[in-house]
Structure 1
Amino acid sequence: MTQIQTGKVQRIFTIFLCFWVAFFEGFDLQAPGIAAKGIAATFSLDQVQIGYVFSLGVFGMLFGAFFGGRIADYWGQKKVLMLSIAIFGFFMTATAFATHTEVLYIARFFTGLGLGAAMPTMISVVGDEATEQNRGKLNSLMYCGLPVGAIFVASLALLFSDIKWQTLFFIGGLTPLVLIPLMALVLKDKPHPLTQTPTPTPAIPNMAQVLFKNQQYKHTLPLWVSFFFTLMINYILINWLPNLLMGQGLEKQQAFMVMLVFQVGAVIGTLALGYLLDRLKLWQLASIIYCGLLLALSLLFTTTSIPVLILAGVMGGIFSTGGQSILYGISPIFYSGLGKVTGVGSAISLGRLGAMTGPLLTGKILALGCGTAGILMLSLPALVISAVAVTTLSKYKSTLK
């Protein structure tokens, strides 16, 4: 086999493994929303406490993304990705065996910690395989694993309406552990070009240098803002949509059906927007994403018509998860060298902060009796800010082509 063929096979297996990492993140993101009523009944939790269950996992992701990316720059991407999956799998399994609220909270935090560290590392691994011509395609092939994982959970809930919430977490915790030996065989830490010279290996730049030096803040700050608000909206939908729809009068199975088509839309959006990323300017893509998401939210939170809700659910998946995948796809191009994973991890950690904030604010809004109208009013400024932030990145991305 020639070196070119070997490289192609290596690339295929790398994307394949990263797809499955994203699959289990999607599984974990959707499982709490599907299991929320069962968890609430088991531990006698109110809406605010359920918001904590949602947000503690995301809180762990925030720390995992921020520090996991930094550690990967020192230890190597392969080691950190394998360790991340081990932590995630162990604590998601532990969630199924939780007998006290405190244990549940701790397990959710450390599950998120493992997933959070995996994501920036995985994105950088895929980024190493990508060129500017195929970046959108490779990223979408990898990231569509997330909505596929969420579809799998939603399908389980539809097919087995009496499935116990513990069973979902048990399945989602044990199966990703199979990936670890495969990663050991397939993944390779690519040496940075700087390390291949006869000169001594350069020191890894500190975090401030990676994020802000040489006017890098002009790219870092808009990236952080776009991640924060886009993930805030996405996680409100992922975590709360079934409960919100049931609160609007839908039956449990109808709400799960809308959630299922939401994730189908997420697959479509991830693939379609990834295709467009290689062909449109970033500001054009931002206009499509955030206008589409505005329409989807308006329909989801103002109607009880099942056909309209199904359409809105598909649109919500296309533009929220699809939009999130675009941010993941472009983030590696704004950083280079030995601090790349640090830069990507910082952006994702800000996104996780938004993802944690959204479900918590939603729980508070519902507790105050403001309903879906209050959630819609919260979402509108977030969409505008996100659109402006992504648009400011368009000029820089164009100079890299």
Structure 2
Amino acid sequence: MRSILATFTQPGKFEAKVQEDPEGIGITQLDFRQLIEIPQRFLTAQACFWTILDKHVGSFGELQQALESLDFPLFLPLNSSVQLKVQSFQSHLYHEGKLYEQISEIFAAQGHAVQEKAPWQLLAEQRGNRFKLFLALGPYPLHHRNYKAESRHGAPLQECLAAAALRWMMSLQKGWQPDHIAVPFAGSGTLLFESWLLLGNLPAFMWNPGAYLENLPATPKATLDSIRKRLSERIHTLPPATLIEKEGDIAAALLLHVANFLKPLSAAPITNSLCADVFQSPPPPGEKILAPLNPPYGLRLSQEGKSRPLDFYRDLSDFLKKWPKKGQDLRGFMLIPDEESLLIVRQKLGPDAIQGVQSFSQGGQHIRCLAFHLNGI
């Protein structure tokens, strides 16, 4: 977020401030034209919300008054449908169902239908006696980038988590830039596409032509066009890539995903998609290779014929140490599901190869992300 704040395409009258927020990252003192630039670029967030109401509310009567004061024509197109999520914390207005019902009635009186599936997304939060209403800026959730073909991989890594892991790992490299990307266990290609987004400075709006911000009444269309034009001018050349996937049907779908990703780009990098076992694959070309790894674990691991992640990660670590040939500089990260597997990876790769370990949660599972650096010998 700080990198975006420092590189806005549009100048602002104020200096943006980062605030602590229990639910995410809070930003204040933004010009509106800067606010609408954020969802065009933010790759590590699930959503970007605009606070459209922030008032003291101690009763349902006060809640009604607050909502009725909202400038509806500024925030929503006429007679639109909206999806509403309600959260309540430390408040005697604790009944989220009642809050949902009352908010829905007031929006209906303004001609807006609250529905389970709708193009506009609202988040209502009651925290103590403070009520806030947020409007999502951009397709919700943001990490559904729409850069893949329709078919989906059975065990996807959320795009925002992949983006965060890559940004963290690259922050440890002190200016190192790869000349090739290798993605073993490629799946549906998320790690390749997020690597390209990061290294190519690609704005995520390129795959969302569904006109979200364009239809927001408050959006200055000329400003939005200017933002997107300037972001497109900042795109860098994408490095070539090698995708390795063992399952034939998934490997075949990868070609469709790559083609779909490259559609809005003016130049396509050389991309090889191999249906092969990575343990039987030669090292990819290039001298400086980025290798993000999302190995199989859980059900995916049992389908590989392994009973324990520990056994698989032992074999993988032994393989990785020998994979780069002389003169190759291999850097990347590995996602690891448990402490035993993390320990064996540390032991096998050795302390000099470990750059750091970061943790996150996906689907309720604690995942360790280990950054590594290996040189061919």
- TM-score above 0.5, yes or no: no
TM-score (normalizing by structure 2): 0.24
Relative CO higher for 1 or 2, CA cutoff 8 Å, sep ≥ 6? 1
Structure number with bigger Rg: 2
Query: When you count helix as a share of all residues, which structure comes out higher?
Result: 1
The structure that is strand-richer by fraction is: 2
TM-score (norm 1): 0.23
